[in-house]
Amino acid sequence: MDIPDFGIPPALARRMSMAEQHEYLRLRLSRRRTLVTAGAVASGLLAGCSGGSASRGATAGASPATATASGVPGAVITPFGRHLAFGADPRTQMRISWQVPLAVRRPYVRIGLRPDDLGRRITAEVRDLRTPELAGVRPAVEQYYLHAALDGLRPGTTYYYGVGHEGFDPAAPPNRPTIASFRTAPASPPERFVFTAFGDQGVSDEAVANNRLLLRQNPAFHLHAGDICYANPTGRGKQSDTFDASQWDRFLKQTEPVAKSVPWMVTTGNHDMEAWYSPDGYGGQLARFSLPDSGFDPRTAPGVYAFRYGNVGVVALDANDVSYELPANHGYTEGRQTAWLARTLKELRAARDIDFVVVFFHHCAYSTSTHASDGGVRAAWLPLFTEHRVDLVINGHNHVYERTDAIRGGEVGRPVPVGGSTDPARDGIVYVTAGGGGKDLYGFPAGVGESYEGEVADRESVATFRWTKSRKAEPETVEWSRVRHRGFSFLRVEAEAGAAPRLSVSALTPGGERIDHFEVRRGG
């Protein structure tokens, strides 16, 4: 239940934007002198995260690298939660992020071409968050996130790195086992490479199992389609007594075995809006992740960016901006994201070395499961996907695996059965809901059964519904739902260059069972 004198009453929250919710909380906090202290302001509670990028409407700045220490010797403070992300150019840029349980002095990254020679040292930036106390419910939570920007790297090169601070040297015994590695993108498109994707992960045994099998695919990077850890379980931007900032600690520890070596490219889901920290709800994301600054404004929309790897252009979007179903942040970019998307897709499609354009975001454009298809996503972005011949769209939001036929003009352009192939320029776009990352599973509408590799049950049409501008669920009968599986899973995508480029897409369960596969070809 909500705390009436602190949390936002449910009826009120349903009518409030993220900015209004943040202001409501700010005013509530201002009346609680035990909470609003100089330390709370400095840590970014009232001004967004204190990281290097200020949130929209917030006044935030980076904490100095020599942040006030906790008083505990640095040697006993162990970094955790390492996670990588590409910069705007994956060939020469990598961002290393991690967490410490207490404030430390002079954090840094050491890197080198051999694990026994980490000669280069890069100063790290501290971004701290303070989540307020709820009297009788939970204490205040202080979290310290550290980030180092590595630029000028060599393409196609393996680097070794260690993260440290005053008193903790990763290159010295007994800390050497903490050294990890990453590889930059090659200068020229490789003959083939693999990337993976899912959404809606959370913290669970199933999430761990997915991560383990995912790592065995040796992916060049991973796409996370939002709803990252579920610290905010309401999913509507509404903050209540159920918000648990420490869930992020558990998530980053869970993810570290993969994300310390595989760039973990996240975007923003509805559960990732957190009104405690900034008017747009993204102050927490800005504190925890360093993502490419190639979007229209990384300070206001950190989950919006693009990068190129080999012959694939990847575009990340924030569907909270256009969603009809969950309107807390609807229209917050005032059309700037969609205008940026049009420019970016045009540039990628015109690039001679890009064969495929892959777009990922949270809310579903096409799905029959619980949240169904979002009419706002369809209205804002599908015309652009069609105009610029996007090759593959990956979503989360619905906690199932579902895959469409090739869709053109809102209808089936070409059936794509399990094992089939399609040419987007001719047939249309395949949309994949990959929401089986590890959070509790959803189902399909009554009478709509599963159909997947080994258990194919094709139907001419199935009943579902879609979200409209009035936020009412209107029924529709659809013919595009080709594969449906109620289980945990992730996508494995193998990209091939050359005379006959193709994307070989597979869906795998944590146990290694393949539940779907198909090919996206260009000119074939």
- CATH code for position 114: 2.60.40.380
Collect all residues with Cβ–Cβ distance below 8 Å to 514 and sequence separation of at least 6.
453, 506, 507, 508
| pLDDT score of 331 | 95
| SS3 call for 283 | helix
pLDDT for the residue 177? 94
Residues 423 and 512 in one domain: yes
- Output the pLDDT for position 36: 31
Are 134 and 197 contained in the same domain?
no
β-bridge mates for residue 289, sequence order: none
Do 166 and 219 lie in a common domain? no
Instruction: State whether 101 and 217 are in the same domain.
Output: no
List b or e across 85-121, with b for residues whose CB sees 16 or more CB atoms inside 10 angstroms.
bbbbbbbbbbbbbbbbbebbebbbbbbbeeeeebeee
In-domain check, residue 172: yes
145 located within any domain: yes
* Per-residue confidence (pLDDT) for residue 519, from 0 to 100: 98
**Residues 207 and 344 both lie in one domain:** yes
Query: In sequence order, what are the residues at sequence separation of 6 or more whose Cβ sits closer than 8 angstroms to the Cβ of residue 162?
Result: 109, 110, 118, 169, 170, 171, 175, 176, 178, 179, 180
Q: Does one domain contain both 362 and 221?
A: yes
Query: 197 with 113: CB under 8 angstroms?
Result: no
Q: Which residue has the tokens 């994956």?
A: 90
Domain boundary residue among 147, 181, 215? 181
Whether 158 maps to a domain, the answer reads: yes
DSSP states along 252-275: HHHHHHHHTTS-EEE---GGG--T
Domain carrying residue 134: 74-181
- pLDDT tens for the 524 residues of the chain, in order: 333 334 556 555 656 787 777 776 666 655 443 333 223 322 333 233 333 333 333 323 333 333 345 689 999 999 999 999 999 999 999 999 999 999 999 999 999 999 999 999 999 999 999 998 877 777 889 999 999 999 999 999 999 999 999 999 999 999 999 999 999 999 999 999 999 999 999 999 999 999 999 999 999 999 999 999 999 988 776 666 788 999 999 999 999 999 999 999 999 999 999 988 888 899 999 999 999 999 999 999 999 999 999 999 999 999 999 999 988 899 999 999 999 999 999 999 999 999 999 999 999 999 999 999 999 999 999 999 999 999 999 999 999 999 999 999 999 999 999 999 999 999 999 999 999 999 999 999 988 999 999 999 999 999 898 887 666 777 889 999 999 999 999 999 999 999 999 999 999 999 999 999 999 998 75
pLDDT for the residue numbered 185: 98
> Are both 419 and 355 inside the same structural domain?
yes
Q: What per-residue confidence (pLDDT) applies to 4?
A: 37
Query: How many distinct structural domains can be found in the chain?
Result: 2
Are 201 and 84 part of one and the same domain? no
Check whether the bond before 4 is cis (ω within 30° of 0).
Answer: no
Identify the residue whose tokens are 């993260």.
163
Residues 152 and 201 grouped into a single domain? no
How far from the centroid of its chain's Cα atoms is residue 414's Cα? 30
pTM for the model:
0.90
Shared domain for 313 and 346, answered yes or no, is: yes
Residue ranges of alpha helices (H) inside 321-370 are 336-350
Q: What is the DSSP string of 59-74?
A: ---PBPSSPPP-SS-G
Q: What is the pLDDT of residues 234-264, one digit of tens each?
A: 877 666 678 899 999 999 999 999 999 999 9
